[in-house]
Chains A and B, each alone.
Chain A
Amino acid sequence: MDRKTAESLLRGSVPGHPLADLLSAAKAPATDRELAGEAAAMAAFRVAAHSPDTAITRRNPMLKLLSLKVAAAAFATTATVGGVALAASTGTIPNPIFASSSAKPSHSKASPSVSPHSKPSSAHPKPSGSASGSPSPKRLADLCKEFDGRDSDGRRRALDDDHFGDLVRKAGKKDRVERFCFDFGKPRPSGSVKPSYSGKPQVSFSARPGENGGGDNGGGEQPGGGDWDNEGK
Chain B
Amino acid sequence: MLAPEELDAVVRAAQTGDENAFRQLYRLQQPVLLRYLRVLVDEDAEDVASEAWLQIARDLHSFRGDGDGFRGWTATIARHRAMDLLRAQRRRPQPAGPADEYLKEIRADDDTADRALELVTTDAALALIATLPQEMAEAVMLRVVVGLDAKSTGKILGRRPGAVRTAAYRGLRLLAQRAAVTHFPVPALKEMR
Contacts and interface: CB of A to CB of B under 8 A. Distances in A.
Nearest to B124: A25
Given A48-B58, A197-B58, A226-B64, A221 B50 contact: no
Q: A45, A182, A219 — which one has the most chain B CB atoms within 10 A of its CB?
A: A45
Interface in A64-93: none
A219 B26 contact: no
Interface string B77-94: 101110111011000000
Interface in A21-58: 21-31, 33-38, 40-42, 44-49, 54, 57-58
Nearest to A185: B50
A194 B87 CA distance: 23
Secondary structure dominating the interface of A: helix
Contacts, number: 199
A1 B169 contact: yes
A10 B172 CA distance: 9
A58 B62 contact: yes
A36 B14 CA distance: 20
A152 B27 CA distance: 26
Contacts of A99: none
B129 interface: yes
Given A218-B83, A232-B157, A25 B19 contact: no
Interface residues of A, number: 61
Contacts of A221: 55, 59, 73, 76-77, 80
A231 interface: yes
B59 A31 contact: no
A161 interface: no
Contact of B144 (A23, A48, A229): A23
Interface range for B = 35 or more
A130 interface: no
A162 to B, nearest CB: 21
B76 A228 contact: yes
A22 B128 contact: yes
A216 B184 CA distance: 41
Contact of B118 (A28, A47, A59): A28
A3 interface: yes
Contact of B64 (A25, A28, A225): A225
Contact of A48 (B60, B87, B125): B60
Interface in B23-52: 23, 26-27, 30-32, 34-35, 46-47, 49-50
B98 interface: no
Interface string A153-177: 0001000000000000000000000
B59 A219 contact: no
A38 B26 contact: yes
Contact of B73 (A37, A46, A226): A226
Q: Top 3 A-B pairs ranked by shortest CB distance?
A: A226-B63, A219-B80, A225-B62
Given A57-B61, A182-B46, A228-B155, 15 more contacts: A1-B172, A21-B189, A26-B129, A27-B147, A48-B58, A49-B19, A179-B47, A182-B50, A218-B84, A219-B76, A219-B83, A221-B80, A225-B59, A232-B155, A232-B158
Interface of B: 14, 17, 19, 22-23, 26-27, 30-32, 34-35, 46-47, 49-50, 53-65, 69, 72-73, 76-77, 79-81, 83-85, 87-88, 115, 118-119, 121-122, 124-126, 128-129, 140-141, 143-145, 147, 154-158, 165, 168-169, 172-173, 175-176, 179-180, 184, 186, 189-190
